[in-house]
Amino acid sequence: MIDVVTAVVMRKGKILILRRGEEVSTYKGKWACISGYLEENERPLERAYKEMEEEAGLKKDDVKLIKEAKVIEFYDEEERKEWRVHPFLFETEKEEISIDWEHTEYRWIEPKKIKEYDTVPKLKEVITMLF
């Protein structure tokens, strides 16, 4: 079971999505929210803050935790991996995002528009749960 966090960042009613680049190990080219692997003995919320800073340049002071949803567990046939996702919803005032090497672009979209994007598995469910 692989533990990951997913941080959905919201600004003025829109959420931040990022397109995964070709250098990441899984789900190349798919749209995702900010996410990352949980390290041993690490709390999910702490990892979420680290990932927001690494992947989007959002420091802890730039975001406010709004909600933590229940963990989602699933098996991905294509990747042959079992995932445990820890979802969080944050809010920010910052519009400009500085993405790192993991992503090629980002967009601010209305949450209901997520169904129009080719996303990582279960992202639509995570967003539905958080909203």
Which CATH number characterizes residue 123's domain? 3.90.79.10
pLDDT value for 96? 87
First to last CA, the chain: 26
Neighbours of 75 (CB within 10 A): 11
Q: Which residue has the higher pLDDT, 40 or 14?
A: 14
Number of domains in the chain: 1
Global pTM reads 0.94
Domain containing 93 equals 2-130
pLDDT value for 79? 83
pLDDT value for 28? 94
Q: Which residue has the tokens 């003025």?
A: 12
> How many CA atoms does the CB half-sphere of 31 hold within 13 Å?
19
pLDDT band at 48 (very low <50, low <70, confident <90, very high): very high
pLDDT value for 78? 82
Could you give the percent of the chain with pLDDT greater than 70? 100
Give 57-94 pLDDT, tens digit per residue: 999 999 999 999 999 999 998 889 999 999 999 999 99
